Amino acid sequence: MYSSIIDVQRALSSGVTSVEILNYFLDKIKSEKKLNVFLEVFEESAINQATKVDEKIKSKTQGCLAGVVIAIKDNLCYKNHKVSASSKMLKDFKSIYTATAVQRLIDEDAIIIGRVNCDEFAMGGSNENSAFGPVLNSINQDYVPGGSSGGSAVAVQAGLCTASLGSDTGGSIRQPAAFTGTIGFKPTYGAISRHGLIAYASSFDQIGVFTNTIEDSTVLYNVMHGPDSYDSTAIQQSNRVLPEKESSDKKITVAVISEYNEAKGLDLEIKQKLVQTIEKLENAEMTIKEVSFPFLEVLVPTYYVITTAEASSNLSRFDGVHYGHRSEKAIGVNETYVKSRTEGFGKEVKRRIMAGTFVLSHEYYDAYFTKAQKVRRLIYEKTQDIFSNCDVIIMPTTSSTAFKLNSVTDPVEMYLQDKFTVHANLSGNPAISIPLGIHSNGLPYGLQVMGAVCDEEMVFRVAEKIQRLLND
């Protein structure tokens, strides 16, 4: 119920109020508390918002998202509300301003219902790194929902809101979308302002959405995207996605990367369904072009060298003096820094800060960080080269379905969960994960569509066509 924007609009047209829609979700959240999705429900402010929206509806001045209930990841700022990045370091911290993306939703009369759990400072691929416990996959609670935006994914999967916001640094929207059977979209880098997003790796982070329909992802993207004076990395022109009937009818060329489809560790059932889907696309008169991308094996190492370096820099401000938890046991300045960060940060965040500090050190800077930046440039150029002859690239979102809680204990094995998703972040391209099928183990898995920089329209268009073909 109320699982899409259209559903909400129909309900409002039939006389249901925004407050009634909100109350439905508030009750549902209480009944699904065991999933550990919400760190905080903004009940009071959400009811106030919904009441104002109902008044606007009566006067016919409502925005395009009137009555739509949205959850936000716990690394997005919302004025006068707590935001912690699921870390003890920011426990009880209250934001003094609202993220641009969140504000643009509110301006169109969306209702923000609460903040949802995630991996601490968005560092993780399973949502097991939160200081407040893991989120559970609602299909099977013995399994992870993926990460770092696992709470955002399950909020939509379990029907606790109409849509949710997440952030995607290396796949943190698309991987949990695949694991939960939802739609997860990451735009072109800079398409949606990062103002008000707690930074992990600034040259990678992007705000995106979880929805039940591609149409909803398109609507939310259109509302949130565009220039922002608060974010110098925001693209300084509007790139609104048109309805499909207004878009071009030219024949679509789909690139299939041979190294991805033959990748070691790719689940056989996922591979078979991918091959079948490619055949369906060819039968639907799309041009399939097999291409080579020789950088698969260096994507994850390159990503982790650069992102940990940026994390080391970004998280240096959380020191118990400028920001964040301050140790009560500390005596003197040095102890304040050491003990505050030791107590405030979790194991995975410490691991990445230490790795980032190492690659930025004087002795190893050129050997690791400089070299990784050069490889990133090669990845970008090769990706641009593919898009000079193709409209989209399709690939698996993940190598497998969701794994069991506490089953992946080796950090490197966890990092390799991102091998198909980090590509779009390294090159800055838009990408979406859509449900591809249900595995024989009963868990969902996804298909990823990646588009050219600033061509969100083609990403949505092809994803919609693939979804229709899968449903036929």
Residues that are catalytic: 73, 148, 172
Residues 239-258 as b/e (b if ≥16 CB within 10 A, e otherwise) read bebeeeeeeeeeebebbbbe
d(CA 209, CA 72): 9
d(CA 472, CA 252): 20
d(CA 80, CA 78): 6
**R_g of the chain computed on alpha carbons:** 21
| Gap between the terminal Cα atoms of the chain | 24
Give the 3-state secondary structure of residue 245.
Answer: helix
The secondary structure of the chain in percent helix, strand, coil, rounded to multiples of 5, reads: 45, 15, 40
d(CA 412, CA 171): 16
Say if CB 340 and CB 315 are below 8 A apart: no
Nearest to 407 by CA among 35, 130, 124, 142: 142
Residues 6+ apart with CB under 8 A from 140: 402, 442, 443
Chain centre distance of CA 460: 16
Q: Rounded to the nearest 5°, which phi and psi values hold at 178? A: -65, -40
Element of type H or E holding 308? helix 296-314
Other CB atoms within 10 Å distance of the CB of residue 229: 10
Q: How far is CA 293 from CA 120, 277, 380, 420, 447, in A?
A: 32, 21, 11, 12, 18
Residues 259-290 as b/e (b if ≥16 CB within 10 A, e otherwise) read ebbebeebbebbbebbeebbeebeeeebeeee
Nearest to 294 by CA among 234, 382, 356: 382
Q: Residue 285: which region, alpha, beta or left (left: phi > 0; alpha: psi -120 to 50)? A: left
